[in-house]
Amino acid sequence: MKAVSFGQYYPSDSILHRLDARMKLLLVVLYITMIFFVQSYIVFFAILIFAFALVLISKVPFLKVLRSVRMIMFLMIFMFIITTLFRGGNVGEVALTGDLRFPSIYLSGIIHASHMALRIFCLVLGTSLLTFTTTPVELTDAIERAFSPLKLIRFPVHEMALIMSIALRLIPTLMEETGKIINAQKARGAEFESRNIFKKAKAMLPVLIPLFVSSFRRAEDLANAMDSRCYRGSEGRTRLKQMRYRLKDLIALLVVVAIFFAVLVFRYNFFDFEFITYLGETWWGGSSDLPPPSII
């Protein structure tokens, strides 16, 4: 008996797990938007502290979260290198590499590239926190709710959500089935360990065909089962799990909105705070679009 687990959901009873899925979806959208307004190291640092605090609160093991970020590491490094190499300097900036035509690396380029890398890191951290604390079913439910205004233009929101949740539901079943079929074919001497990619693809046929056949069989069974229970789409359909916003959802929203506001203040300095003006002129508090930092 293998423990069937898929996706990233990490079962726990933290406050993040108990938040309404729709709210979490909204918060993640806000969070993502917010990240795009950040353009200084110090604010990125603050966001990272915030995100890590959320990880602590969510009770998801740190290593698990970092592992999901690891997948995106390659993209981060790749973008960092390309941006550093090809971003031109600001007006009046002297390249670090001197008069070389290529590569011409500018300090502002490095700052810009590292901002981008940090941005991706923060994005992945926030969104994976959503999938860690929300079951796929809750998530599809929330998406259905979130997109329900599209029903007005006859977009089949309910049907799409149903397709999604059936697909998610069947992943573990199909994985188990694949394992069984692979074993059965191996017992008949099939070899899947070939290095040659064409041979490997051909070797997969005896697995894929039975898998397709059984998927169709399953689909038909499911359709019949739904039909015989008078399923007729979203019309007049009630739910087993009613979603309700609670106080904690409101508080979470307020917290995120407040942080969003603070980020905007740091970016645009609405109230002309002197310390923000000062920060903006340093390399660690300002954006990469500034004239060459005076420190170096």
Partner 1 sequence: MSIIIKNLSYTYNPKSIFEKVALKNINLQIENGDFFGIIGHTGSGKSTLINHLNALTRIQKGSGEIIIQGIDLTQKKLDFRRLRSEVGMVFQYPEYQLFDETVAKDVGFGARNLKLDKKEIEWRVKEAIELVGLNYEEIKDRSPFEISGGQKRRAAIAGVLAMRPKILILDEPTAGLDPRGKKEILDLVQNIKEKMCRTIVMISHNMDEIARVANKIAVMHKGEIVCVKPPKELFSEREILKKYNISMPQATLLANELADKGFEIDRGIVDEEELIEKITNYSGQIANDEEINLNL
CB of 207 to partner 1, least distance (A): 8
Nearer to partner 1, 162 or 174 (CB): 174
Sign of CA dihedral 23, 27, 28, 29: positive
User: What's the distance, Cα to Cα, between the start and end of the chain in Å?
Assistant: 61
CB of 165 to partner 1, least distance (A): 25
Nearer to partner 1, 67 or 186 (CB): 186
CB of 185 to partner 1, least distance (A): 6
CB of 232 to partner 1, least distance (A): 32
Q: Tell me, what amino acid is at 204?
A: M
Nearer to partner 1, 62 or 284 (CB): 62
Nearer to partner 1, 172 or 206 (CB): 206
Calpha distance 234→36 (Å, rounded): 37
User: What is the binding site for partner 1 (CB under 8 A)?
Assistant: 1-3, 177, 180-181, 183-191, 205-206, 209-210, 213-214
Nearer to partner 1, 188 or 229 (CB): 188
CB of 166 to partner 1, least distance (A): 21
Nearer to partner 1, 189 or 236 (CB): 189
CB of 180 to partner 1, least distance (A): 7
DSSP assignment of 150-202: GGGGT--HHHHHHHHHHHHHHHHHHHHHHHHHHHHHHHTT-----SSHHHHHH
